[in-house]
Amino acid sequence: SSSPHPPSSCSSPPPDSHFIGKQKDIVEAGRVTKLVNGCRDVLVLYHQGQLHAMDMCCYHSGGPLQYGDIEEFNGKLCIVCPWHKYKITLAEGEGLYQAVDNPMAKPLKTHWCSKGVKQRIHKVTEVNGDVYVTLNNSSEATESDVYQTERYRTLLLNG
Ligand code: FES
């Protein structure tokens, strides 16, 4: 698996990628959700000139990340889940939280910590104005995997 990175100006999509939509449509919409390869609900979003892709349902309790705000915490761009405000980095899918330095100190001081990767991030490729996602098939379990089931998909559809 030490193959060199493909050139960034490649003219055909990666072999195992899935078409999501036209780049201009995704840029305009800002957010697009899609069932990729019949098995994975993926959120593709455009922010500050960059496309990102991740599992659509928040690792905490399955919240709809497509309705989350994007904010910077600790120098990292995060999506903030609309349900319980968990912060997930766009680049790595890390869960961030604020830890208290010293519970006895007043006023309380906090610093940002990472819980590690919690949300599965997928690879986005743009080729000739078309956007493709390559699913992250890492065999390492990620907490957001829990919500990628038929049962959950049905629940979402039924509101
Ligand atoms: Fe996302 Fe709880 S479901 S923060």
Domain ranges of the chain: 18-137
Two tokens, residue 20: 């999501």
Q: How close is the Cα of 65 to the center of ligand 1, in Å?
A: 8
pLDDT value of residue 102 = 87
**pLDDT higher than 90, residue 75:** yes
Which atom, in ligand 1's list, is nearest to the CA of 81? 1
Q: How far apart are the C-alpha atoms of 21 and 44, rounded to whole Å?
A: 10
Residue among 156, 116, 159 at smallest CA distance from 33? 156
**pLDDT higher than 80, residue 142:** yes
Q: Residue 132: CA atoms inside 13 Å, Cβ hemisphere, count?
A: 15
pLDDT value of residue 37 = 93
ipTM of the complex: 0.99
pLDDT value of residue 17 = 97
Q: Residue 33: CA atoms inside 13 Å, Cβ hemisphere, count?
A: 14
Two tokens, residue 124: 């986005």
Q: How far is CA 65 from CA 2, 90, 137, 147, 159, in A?
A: 33, 11, 20, 12, 15
Please, are residues 88 and 54 in contact by the beta-carbon 8 Å criterion? yes
Least confidently predicted of 8-12, 60-64, 72-76: 8-12
> Does the CA dihedral 12-44-42-158 come out positive or negative?
negative
Q: How close is the Cα of 20 to the center of ligand 1, in Å?
A: 25
Q: How close is the Cα of 63 to the center of ligand 1, in Å?
A: 5
pLDDT digits (tens, 9 = 90+) for 89-141: 999 999 999 999 888 888 889 999 999 999 999 999 999 999 999 999 999 99
The fraction of the chain above a pLDDT of 90, given in percent, is 80
CATH architecture of 18-137: 3-layer Sandwich (2.102)
**pLDDT higher than 90, residue 155:** no
Residue among 156, 148, 124 at smallest CA distance from 21? 124
pLDDT value of residue 1 = 44
Which SS3 state, helix, strand or coil, does residue 30 take?
A: coil
The phi, psi pair for 153, rounded to 5°, reads -60, -45
Q: How close is the Cα of 130 to the center of ligand 1, in Å?
A: 31
Residues with CB under 6 A from ligand 1: 58, 60-63, 81, 83-84, 86
Pocket test for ligand 1, best of 43, 83, 88, 97 (most atoms within 8 A of CB): 83
The phi, psi pair for 113, rounded to 5°, reads -130, 160
**pLDDT higher than 80, residue 2:** no
